[in-house]
């Protein structure tokens, strides 16, 4: 069977650029428009990241024509997850927390209340993604009760 990416002149293997299927271009444009109205010094970007202890790098080196062999653990019950959640305001990292386990809505709300809000100034705007475990209404209430994410500043929950 022919392999077009190997046999067709002018074609090279490329890393795919992917987008989420759920991405709505009109909502994205509305978000970017609202973001332009928020002064850079008031923007607080929030995100979380993590890795599992059983993750391996999927690439390696081997002699040409040979497989690159590796082993990975098959028992997932010993997996440990390490996460980091933090805010970024201009060049300052705010309320960084490293923890074991998975991030859920309860942890995220508590982190906002106990760690992030005390480091923010009135009028700051917290910007975060729409991860399924972010309880959007509760987060909005919590931030607005602390004088943050004022809907009058042109920013709204998207």
SS3 63: coil
| Helix, strand, coil percent values for the chain (each to nearest 5) | 30, 20, 50
Model's pTM, two decimal places? 0.71
Per-residue model confidence as pLDDT tens digits over 45-77: 999 999 887 777 778 888 888 888 888 776 666
The CATH number of domain 39-49+76-158, selected from 3.40.50.970, 3.30.420.10, 2.30.40.10, 3.40.50.300: 3.30.420.10
Confidence of residue 25 (pLDDT cuts 50, 70, 90): confident
Look at residue 2 and tell me whether its pLDDT is greater than 60: no
Mean pLDDT of the chain: 82
Domain ranges (residues) in the chain: 39-49+76-158
Start-to-end CA span in the chain (Å): 47
Give me the pLDDT at residue 89, please: 97
């Amino acid at each position: 069977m022919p392999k077009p990416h190997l046999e067709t002149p002018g074609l090279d293997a490329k890393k795919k650029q992917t987008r989420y299927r759920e991405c709505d271009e009109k909502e994205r444009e509305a978000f970017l428009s609202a973001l332009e109205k928020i002064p850079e010094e008031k923007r607080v970007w929030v995100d979380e990241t993590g890795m599992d202890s059983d993750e391996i790098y999927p690439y390696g080196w081997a002699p040409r024509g040979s497989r690159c062999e590796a082993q990975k653990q098959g028992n997932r019950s010993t997996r440990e997850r390490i996460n980091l959640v933090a805010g970024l305001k201009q060049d300052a990292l705010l309320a960084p927390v490293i923890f074991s386990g998975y991030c859920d809505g309860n942890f995220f709300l508590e982190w906002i209340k106990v760690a992030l809000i005390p480091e923010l100034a009135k009028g700051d705007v917290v910007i975060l993604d729409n991860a399924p475990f972010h309880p959007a209404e509760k987060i909005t209430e919590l931030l607005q009760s602390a004088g943050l994410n004022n809907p009058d500043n042109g920013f709204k929950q998207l």
